[in-house]
Amino acid sequence: MSGTIAVPLAPTTALDPVTFEVLKNAFATSVDLMSEQILRTCYSFVIYSRDFSSALCDAAGNTVMQGSGDIAVHVGTLHFQCKAVLEEFGTDINPGDVFAINDPYRGGTHFNDVSFIRPIFSGGEVIAFAQNKGHWADIGGNVPG
């Protein structure tokens, strides 16, 4: 089953300040909880030292919210990688898909920083993406690191 991509047509200013703050804090908490799960389950000292970042992106790949303890060099490139997934796969994105990317020409910071991007669906449409980017200490090659 192929999902469709929902892209907002125009920005809206219809949110009142209270609703905006509630939504902003809900998104911030969601991203921080994503990071907390990474810390609770990691076996890598590099990740445990917080060399990773988390974010929510909208259906067009734009960063909506980043984690409160994230690394700036990661955060500045997260949307490029999300957009690269959209360019590569278009509307052939399905529930359960998870994309791994570290392409230096599509938002990768260096070879060892790998992003995992998962689409979020509602009613059969992609409405957002959850993304984590972290330093994979020994990704392969003939020497460690």
Task: Look at the block and give the residue holding tokens 């590099």.
Answer: 46
* C-alpha–C-alpha distance, residues 129 and 117, integer Å: 6
Asked if 107 and 9 touch (Cβ cutoff 8 Å), the reply is no
Task: Output the pLDDT for position 51.
Answer: 85
Task: Output the pLDDT for position 102.
Answer: 87
Report the helix count and the strand count for the chain, using DSSP H and E: 4, 6
Task: Output the pLDDT for position 107.
Answer: 77
Mean pLDDT by 10 residues, the chain (145 residues): 60 80 94 92 84 92 89 80 94 95 81 90 95 80 60
Task: Output the pLDDT for position 13.
Answer: 67
Domain spanning 17-135: CATH 2.60.40.10: no
* C-alpha–C-alpha distance, residues 112 and 136, integer Å: 5
Task: Output the pLDDT for position 11.
Answer: 65
